[in-house]
Amino acid sequence: MIAVLMLAGVIDSGLAGPAKVDKAVEARYTKAYTTCLNTGDAAAGQNLAMQQCGQDEFARQDAALNTTYAATIKRLTPAKQTKLRGFERTWANGRDSGCRASAHKEGGGGTIEGLLYISCRVDTTIRRSIWLEAYK
């Protein structure tokens, strides 16, 4: 999440301290996402434009997650498929509520809260794709 805010110019490492960037997540941001954050109103720090970049990236990462999930399910035994379906329901229910709570805590109800929320959803979805790829 800090990486997205840094890319968007909302914070810099000098203000936020040493940035703790999850390199595995950052490596999966699409070129369209980084381009969006670094051009136009988003590059100028306009919150709604940055949120739109995040919404678009979330749609791309969610589609990638669905593809990864489908491939993962195919390679599992029926018993493990059932187990994974349960895991996924629990994870999906927790992702949005967890991101909402985190964004509220970090953003304190300010205008940055929406950006923090969508950034969390993007990063959490990418982490889940990585987790699914390794699931056995």
Identity of residue 33 = Y
Write down the pLDDT at residue 10: 43
What's the residue count for the chain?
136
The CA distance from 6 to 110, in Å, is 18
The CA distance from 54 to 28, in Å, is 13
- The answer, yes or no, to whether residue 106 has pLDDT greater than 50, is yes
- The answer, yes or no, to whether residue 72 has pLDDT greater than 90, is yes
- The answer, yes or no, to whether residue 23 has pLDDT greater than 60, is yes
Which of 55, 53, 54, 89 lies closest to 69, judged by CA?
A: 89
Query: Whole-model pTM above 0.75?
Result: yes
- The answer, yes or no, to whether residue 5 has pLDDT greater than 80, is no
Write down the pLDDT at residue 20: 55
Q: What is the pLDDT of residues 79-104, one digit of tens each?
A: 999 999 999 999 999 999 999 999 99
Q: Supply the range of the domain harboring residue 41.
A: 2-134
Model confidence band, residue 12 (pLDDT cutoffs 50, 70, 90): very low
∠ CA 96-75-135, rounded to 5°: 45
Higher model confidence: residue 32 or residue 5?
A: 32
- The answer, yes or no, to whether residue 11 has pLDDT greater than 50, is no
For 40, the token pair is: 């136009």
pLDDT > 70 fraction of the chain, expressed in percent and rounded: 85
Write down the pLDDT at residue 1: 42
Count structural domains, the chain: 1
pLDDT > 90 fraction of the chain, expressed in percent and rounded: 79
